[in-house]
Amino acid sequence: MSTRISIGIAALLALQAFVLHMLGQPWVSESGLMLFAGDVHSVENSQQLSDWYTLSHIIHGFIFYLALWYFFPRMPVFRRLALAVGIEVAWEVAENTPTVINHYREQALAQGYTGDSIINSLSDTCAMIAGFFFASRAPVLATIALALGLELWVAYWIRDNLFLNVVGLFHQFDFIAQWQAGS
């Protein structure tokens, strides 16, 4: 990876932290730093280094790698990585705006959602980078199988996943909300 691309990625991460700070997001949970917040109903969710949704960001990396490989096959992989980081940073900032936070609160599992801590958001971007690298090295079918496995595993444990999050951003289905609420 060239020095310019590495500096560019570091600058994007610094920009992400700065903008989230300006949006009023905390650096870390008031209770301190934990490696994993496993209770999606806890105030620690989206505040710690990782949580169940970190796995969705690994899948973001798979998706970004495959999409950028398809649309820009001649672009060097590290330039595609920088582009993927830019996309992920843009999402992380958008996800933590009051409009999106309030929209998430309309969903069954996110009623107390206050957005991500800065450390959680940066960790999510790093998870995307890990997913991107995995997809760049693994066979396509292995990447797809792992994405499906992660989605099913998270759906089983917390009744949510990347697919359900995307669906919920566009339309709230009562049967999904009931299932997520445990009904």
Residue 59 has pLDDT above 90, yes or no: yes
The pLDDT confidence band at residue 166, using thresholds 50, 70 and 90, is confident
Q: Which domain holds residue 113?
A: 3-20+43-180
In a domain, 65, yes or no: yes
Task: Specify if 37 maps to a domain.
Answer: no
pTM (two decimals): 0.91
| Whether residue 174 has pLDDT greater than 60 | yes
Percentage of the chain lying above the pLDDT 70 cut: 96
CA distance 56 to 162: 5
- Is residue 51 in a domain? yes
Instruction: Report the pLDDT averaged over residues 126-136.
Output: 98
| 50 falls within a domain | yes
The length of the chain, given as a count of residues: 183
In a domain, 34, yes or no: no
Residue 1, pLDDT score: 67
Find all residues with CB under 8 Å of 48, minimum gap 6, and list them: 28, 29, 33, 34, 35, 36, 37, 117, 119, 120
How many folded domains does the chain comprise? 1
